[in-house]
Amino acid sequence: MTTLPVVAPAALQAAAVQHPETAHVGHRRNKPLAVVSYLLMLVVVVIYAYPLLFLINTALKSNNEFLVNPTGLVQSPQLANFASAWRQGNFGAYVLNSVLYTFVAAGLGTVMSLLVGFPVARGYVKHPRVWQGLFAAMLFLPNTLVTVFQLALRLGLYDTALGYILIMASGVGVGPLLVTGYLSSIPREIDEAAAMDGAGYLRYLFTFLPRLMAPVLSTVFILQAIGVWNDIILATILFPDQTKWPVTLGLFAFKGTYTSQWSLLSAATLIVAAPLLTAYLFLQRYLVASVVGGAVKG
């Protein structure tokens, strides 16, 4: 039986010193690829950042300045545009409505994703692969607005905040898939240890697991919150009462009233987008941790 020789680190360093051209050949080969990667990243950043910067630039202009030079940099910033848009569009009431709908619906959707994803990931139900296939298939099913409208009408939930919240919460989307994928990184022994300590199923599900799954649950919540906050179609169908409108419908009505005042429209658009942008800045580390945890450990 032959044994392979063990090469000491000192020998590797000596070989690198004797043949420096082979030691750096990998770096030379990877340099063009790195340059291309950075260029592609720069293109993506420009594509996404330019419209936002253009919107901010427009929101800070007076309407006359925008008409004279639509693409030029703002000369005298008009911060009063935001106050005017907020007051004239009655965005205070609309934002409160959207905050209520978003937090409650996204919270319920996150809880449902956990309730559905945990038993499937652990194999506590029959045919877990079939269930995972159903989770994936739901992402491609069309939105049955007529059926949803009839259901809300027959249940007495039409033109009610409760009906809108329940319907939006039921659209869990990719949530169950993210939960099942992330649970593969959590050892099953933790479940058994909690059971031996006397923790019941629901207690373990809502007390212990959320601490271990904070990144993925935050991701599910954010993704569902984006869908609820940006919704306009379902709100148009279910809310004839203007006092119940979310902020997106308020922005749509504002656009119809102030079509020619581009500075106010831009300021109103930033008002609607600001809460989601702020939430993303504070929670982006959870999004990254969710992706890394589900991909590497799973």
The CA distance from 146 to 233, in Å, is: 12
Tokens encoding 172: 């869990």
For 74, other C-beta atoms within 10 Å of its C-beta total 17
Residue appearing with tokens 């990254």: 288
Question: 143: helix, coil or strand?
Answer: coil
- Token pair listed for 97: 């409505």
Q: Are 101 and 230 in contact (CB under 8 A)?
A: no
Residue 95: predicted pLDDT? 93
Radius of gyration over every alpha carbon of the chain, rounded to an integer in angstroms: 26
Distance CA 293, CA 217 (A): 12
Architecture of domain 83-297: Orthogonal Bundle (1.10)
Q: What global pTM score does this model have?
A: 0.79
Residues 6 or more apart from 286 whose CB is under 8 A from it?
A: 214, 215, 218, 219, 222
CA proximity to 121, closest of 175, 35, 182: 182
Q: How many residues belong to the chain? A: 298
Nearest to 181 by CA among 297, 287, 286: 297
Nearest to 174 by CA among 185, 162, 182, 166: 182
pLDDT by residue, tens only, the chain of 298 residues: 444 444 444 544 554 445 555 545 555 667 778 888 888 888 888 888 888 889 999 999 988 888 888 888 888 888 899 999 999 988 999 999 999 999 999 999 999 999 999 988 888 888 888 888 888 887 787 777 888 888 899 999 999 999 999 999 988 888 898 898 888 888 888 888 888 888 888 888 888 888 888 888 988 998 899 999 999 999 999 999 999 999 999 999 888 777 778 899 999 999 998 888 888 777 777 666 655 554 444 4
- At residue 11, the pLDDT reads 47
**Nearest 10 degrees: Cα torsion 227, 229, 235, 240:** 180
Is-contact 191 233, C-beta < 8 A?
no
Please give the distance of CA 209 from its chain centroid, rounded to a whole number.
Answer: 21
Among candidate residues 31, 61, 128, 17, the one with its CA nearest the CA of residue 264: 61
Q: Where are the domains of the chain?
A: 9-59, 83-297
